[in-house]
Amino acid sequence: MITHPFPPLYDENSRILILGSFPSVKSREQMFFYGHPQNRFWRVTAAVFEKPIPVTIDEKKAFLHGCRIALWDVIASCEISGSSDSSIRNVKPNDLTPILNESPIERIFVNGKTAEKYYNKYIKPEIGREALCLPSTSPANAAWSTEKLIEAWRVIL
């Protein structure tokens, strides 16, 4: 069983909540979201908001706060082999109530089908809010070019 090793990122101005499934090995090593260099999350969101791509964790935090984005993951702990979403077993979901109570979240998005599956199974019944599924920014989602991802992700604006 692996427990999510770092906290959510949000503040009192967060309007958009983007949920991943569970952090990759690289993200767990860096102790921050979307740490794998091939994950396109930072390139895609920077393009959507027409901002420079943040590089350091401090730049990424400032970017998210500036764009009023909260980031968290659906899964609090699970069994997982490496970073493979398809290997996820024995899921315990995260509690979103602190974020939803402290931030005026207007829309919830999930980054990919795995996040959507576990959101709909565990979290939606608890909070009663829909989440829009966006195509995954993971390098495993090779069917989507960065350009196509940017176009699809514009809905977060």
Per-residue pLDDT, 94: 98
Q: What is the pTM of this model?
A: 0.97
**Residues with catalytic function:** 39
Q: What pLDDT sits at residue 101?
A: 97
Which residues on neighbouring strands pair with residue 108, listed in sequence order? 17
* For residues 136-154, average pLDDT: 96
Element containing residue 92 per DSSP (H, E): strand 89-93
Contact partners, residue 18, CB within 8 Å, separation at least 6: 69, 70, 71, 72, 109, 110, 111, 134, 156
What pLDDT is stored for residue 65 in this prediction?
98
| 38 and 116 Cβ atoms separated by less than 8 Å | no
Q: What is the pLDDT of residues 5-52, one digit of tens each?
A: 999 999 999 999 999 999 999 999 999 999 999 999 999 999 999 999
Tokens of 156: 């977060």
147 vs 58: CA distance, rounded Å = 26
Quote the domain boundaries for residue 67. 2-156
- CATH number for the domain harbouring residue 84: 3.40.470.10
DSSP 121: I
CB-CB contact of 8 with 71 (8 Å): yes
Confidence at residue 139, expressed as pLDDT on a 0 to 100 scale? 92
Using pLDDT thresholds of 50, 70 and 90, give the confidence band for residue 131: very high
**Cα-Cα-Cα-Cα dihedral sign, residues 111, 112, 118, 120:** positive
Q: What is the pLDDT of residues 61-115, one digit of tens each?
A: 999 999 999 999 999 999 999 999 999 999 999 999 999 999 999 999 999 999 9
Domain count, the chain: 1
Contact 69/16 with Cβ under 8 angstroms? yes
| Interatomic CA distance for residues 113 and 116, integer angstroms | 5
